[in-house]
């Protein structure tokens, strides 16, 4: 047998039964239809923007271009593609897609955007691949592609019953020009979209094979921990590392920075050849901090400042007139606390910085942002910055931030080696940024028709920032202007006189987005106060809300919520509360039922939740996300808050910031509205409605209004 000495690796594989060949399909962003296919090895780094790879054996790999932090993208995105590709999820393996803005377009994981922002694109990707495979089979059989169809990973000829596995068609299909126009399935024809299929990451997360950021290891990797100034803006004046360097394995000790919005927060890094050595060395480190030039506030001072800022607002004369014309009016103040993100997996990140390249591994929620930020700050071409996503043990917005990868990159650059920076639980909970606290003043009145005639909600809070440096002037309040997070949009149409406004207080506390940002604090005041107005009007709280809704979709949600909760069956001595919120394109209604126990304590008996997220992929994932949102909301309402003393976070671990225990979780029943609306978000919209529904239920039972979170059920 003659051997060709110049046979390339790829040519050899092509001649060896096509083992290792793959069809890789993708679309350039943002124009749907511009696509490229080529033959690549399944383990090669493709130069295509691609979601699908099919090897010669017929194995399908679908690339997930979004982070997976428990919200289910590892299942839902492949499930969308597999539907149009005509393969079952049992035939599919999933891998993270490389972070690449020109191949995958925007990849941030925020705003519950994964499905609602990408479903059409992903459906078209699956359809294109399927049509190329059908065309390849039709050419082999010398028939019209219209005579063929795809099913279960095969192309079938209707007339003869001939079949070809996708794997045998890879080579020919990859040479075809992808279609620019494709016809998507009708929803009634779906086989796997809309089904509660088993999540493909469950087994790995159960048996310990799933790789989270904390699990990732590299050859020759060093470990670092950082002693950070607990006052956020403080600088390093000096440090004594003589005792630290006596610990075996400690390599270096040096000052390091991390960017928090526009502020550089400082600390001292201890780098060692083991995490244990680094942590022991840190305990012996002595640091003198420079905390001059900024305020050291207590929580009491922060909220007092909020109250002062609320008093700065001047209400429009037209609104004041409307309030006076109301049949009855009320005035109330609501308070929301600061909260830590407290993900179960603390922050961590591996960086390997070389002269002209950067590579990152870790629980990254916003990989594209990290890539762009490191490229700009460290002056490395963006194509030389690689960000590898691992599974995230929770994100909630905190792991979307850029500070911890940047800090890891600076330490790696200094050490000229790959370094994993580990945050302890105390680091993670004490350094922020935090969900901002807020104070709300709510004023409103009802008319003779028992409907809201005037509504004003103004807030003093912090926006996402390193902290405000100067006193802010409140925006001028005007009638029928402004907005508030979580509110049902029909209120803007049906309330004749409304006025919303806010002011950012002066504070050095760093704050940022937290699951369902905006709505997670605004909706508490808004939906509790709507309930107060319903009581003022002597109206059923659910019927009162429906009376203000004109959109059929909202009214249908109210009717369904009443049906699933058996709202009409409630009795005089029961405690029933309702809240309806809107967030990231989805509407959620929740009914909470509470009761008084023999020991006079209040028990949460059950939560009924109804989500209208339009077109959806996997009902089981939706139910899990809504349940998780309710549990997180319960913790934020009853269990924990972050306080500050002398500018430092007080609660720094779970002994003082307790998570809800399983025995505290009530029965939760989740329902999904069926309609043909465009998809909305799922991972965040389930959270805002719980706290107001709970507090409204407590009022229904006890006659007492809860206007400040967190509170304790046994103290009501």
In tens, the pLDDT along 667-702 reads 999 999 999 999 999 999 999 999 999 999 999 999
Token look-up 């225990």 returns 661
- Indicate if the pLDDT at residue 40 is higher than 60: no
Mean pLDDT of 381-397: 95
**Lowest-confidence segment of 38-52, 281-295, 401-415, 643-657 by average pLDDT:** 38-52
- Indicate if the pLDDT at residue 32 is higher than 50: no
In tens, the pLDDT along 338-372 reads 999 999 999 999 999 999 999 999 999 999 999 99
CATH code of the region 213-294+347-422: 3.30.365.10
The CA distance from 33 to 26, in Å, is: 9
Mean pLDDT of 118-139: 92
pLDDT band (50, 70, 90) for residue 44: very low
- Indicate if the pLDDT at residue 237 is higher than 50: yes
Identify which of 84, 323, 344 has the alpha carbon closest to the alpha carbon of residue 190. Answer: 84
Question: DSSP for 603-615?
Answer: EEEEEEEEEE-SS
In tens, the pLDDT along 70-122 reads 999 999 999 999 999 999 999 999 988 877 766 666 665 666 778 888 899 88
- Indicate if the pLDDT at residue 494 is higher than 60: yes
pLDDT band (50, 70, 90) for residue 65: confident
Token look-up 């383990």 returns 43
- Indicate if the pLDDT at residue 713 is higher than 90: yes
pLDDT band (50, 70, 90) for residue 21: low
Domain ranges of the chain: 9-207, 213-294+347-422, 312-338+434-715
**Lowest-confidence segment of 7-21, 233-247, 342-356 by average pLDDT:** 7-21
Q: What is the pLDDT of residue 386?
A: 95
Q: What is the pLDDT of residue 107?
A: 61
Q: What is the pLDDT of residue 554?
A: 98
Token look-up 């406004």 returns 501
Residues 424/429/431/432 CA torsion (nearest 10 deg) = 140
CATH code of the region 9-207: 3.30.365.10
Residues 75/81/87/88 CA torsion (nearest 10 deg) = 20
Mean pLDDT of 644-659: 98
Contact 129/52 with Cβ under 8 angstroms? yes
What is the value of pTM for the model shown? Answer: 0.92
The reply to whether domains 9-207 and 213-294+347-422 share a CATH topology is yes
Percent of the chain clearing pLDDT 90 (strictly above): 81
- Indicate if the pLDDT at residue 140 is higher than 50: yes
In tens, the pLDDT along 523-532 reads 999 999 999 9
The CA distance from 137 to 156, in Å, is: 8
Cα distance from N-terminal residue to C-terminal residue, the chain: 89
Choose which CATH entry (3.30.910.10, 3.30.365.10, 1.10.1530.10, 3.40.50.1010) describes domain 312-338+434-715. 3.30.365.10
Identify which of 348, 471, 437, 503 has the alpha carbon closest to the alpha carbon of residue 649. Answer: 437
Q: What is the pLDDT of residue 25?
A: 58
Q: 278: part of which helix (H) or strand (E)?
A: helix 275-284
Q: What is the pLDDT of residue 171?
A: 82
Contact 433/476 with Cβ under 8 angstroms? no
């Amino acid at each position: 047998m003659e051997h060709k000495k110049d046979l390339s690796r790829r040519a050899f594989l092509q001649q060896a039964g096509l083992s290792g060949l793959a069809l890789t399909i993708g679309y350039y962003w943002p124009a749907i239809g511009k696509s490229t296919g080529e033959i690549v090895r399944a383990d090669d780094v493709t130069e295509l923007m691609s979601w699908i790879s099919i090897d010669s054996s017929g194995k399908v790999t679908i690339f997930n271009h979004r982070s997976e932090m428990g919200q289910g993208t590892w299942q839902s995105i492949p499930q969308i593609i597999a539907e149009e590709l005509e393969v079952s999820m049992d035939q599919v393996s999933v891998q993270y897609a490389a972070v690449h803005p020109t191949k995958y377009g925007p990849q941030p994981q925020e705003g519950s955007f994964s499905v609602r922002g990408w479903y059409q694109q992903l459906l078209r990707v699956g359809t294109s691949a399927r049509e190329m495979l059908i065309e390849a089979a039709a050419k082999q059989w010398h028939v019209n592609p219209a005579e063929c169809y795809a099913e279960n990973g095969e192309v079938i000829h209707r007339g003869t019953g001939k079949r070809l596995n996708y794997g045998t068609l890879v080579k020919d299909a990859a040479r075809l020009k992808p279609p620019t126009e494709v016809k998507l399935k009708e929803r009634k024809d779906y086989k796997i979209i809309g089904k509660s299929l088993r999540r493909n990451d469950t087994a790995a997360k159960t048996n310990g094979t799933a790789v989270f950021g904390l699990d990732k290891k590299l050859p020759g990797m060093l470990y670092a921990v950082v002693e950070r100034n607990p006052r956020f803006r403080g600088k390093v004046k000096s440090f004594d590392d003589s005792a630290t360097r006596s610990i075996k394995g400690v390599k270096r000790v040096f000052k390091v920075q991390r960017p928090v919005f526009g502020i550089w927060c400082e600390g001292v890094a201890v780098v060692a050849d083991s995490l244990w050595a680094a942590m022991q060395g840190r305990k012996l480190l002595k640091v003198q901090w420079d905390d001059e030039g900024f305020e050291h506030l207590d929580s009491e001072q922060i909220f007092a400042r909020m109250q002062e800022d609320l008093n700065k607002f001047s209400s429009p004369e037209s609104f004041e007139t409307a309030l006076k014309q109301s049949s009855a009016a009320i005035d109330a103040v609501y308070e929301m606390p600061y909260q830590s993100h407290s993900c179960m997996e603390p922050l961590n990140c591996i960086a390997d910085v070389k002269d002209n390249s950067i590579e990152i591994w870790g629980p990254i929620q916003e990989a594209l942002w990290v890539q762009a930020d490191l490229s700009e700050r460290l002056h490395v071409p963006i194509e030389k910055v690689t960000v590898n996503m691992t599974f995230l043990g929770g994100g909630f917005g905190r792991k979307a931030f850029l500070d911890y990868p940047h800090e890891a990159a600076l330490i790696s650059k200094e050490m000229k080696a790959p370094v994993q920076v580990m945050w302890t639980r105390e680091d993670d909970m004490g350094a922020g940024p935090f969900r901002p606290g807020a104070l709300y003043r709510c004023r409103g009145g009802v008319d003779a028709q028992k409907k809201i005639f005037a509504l004003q909600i103004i807030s003093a809070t912090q926006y996402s920032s390193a902290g405000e440096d100067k006193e802010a002037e409140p925006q001028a309040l005007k009638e029928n202007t402004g907005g508030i997070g979580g509110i049902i949009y029909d209120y803007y149409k049906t309330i004749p006189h409304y006025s919303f406004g806010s002011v950012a207080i002066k504070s050095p506390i760093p704050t940022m987005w937290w699951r369902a940002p905006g709505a997670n604090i605004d909706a508490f005041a808004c939906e509790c106060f709507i309930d107060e107005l319903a009581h003022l009007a002597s109206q059923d709280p659910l019927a009162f809300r429906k009376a203000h809704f004109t959109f059929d979709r909202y009214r249908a949600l109210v009717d369904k919520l009443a049906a699933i909760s058996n709202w009409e069956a409630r009795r005089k001595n029961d405690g029933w509360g309702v809240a309806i919120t809107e967030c990231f394109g989805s509407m959620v209604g929740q009914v909470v039922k509470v009761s008084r126990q023999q020991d006079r304590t209040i028990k949460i008996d059950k939560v009924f939740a109804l989500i209208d997220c339009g077109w959806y992929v996997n009902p089981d994932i939706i139910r899990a996300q809504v349940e998780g949102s309710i549990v997180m909301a319960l913790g934020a309402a009853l269990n924990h808050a972050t306080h500050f003393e002398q500018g430092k976070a007080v609660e720094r671990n779970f002994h003082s910031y307790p998570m809800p225990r399983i025995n505290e979780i009530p029965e939760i029943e989740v329902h999904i509205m069926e309609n043909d609306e465009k998809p909305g978000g799922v991972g965040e919209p389930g959270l805002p409605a719980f706290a107001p529904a709970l507090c409204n239920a407590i009022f229904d039972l006890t006659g007492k209004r809860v206007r400040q979170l967190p509170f304790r059920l046994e103290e009501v």
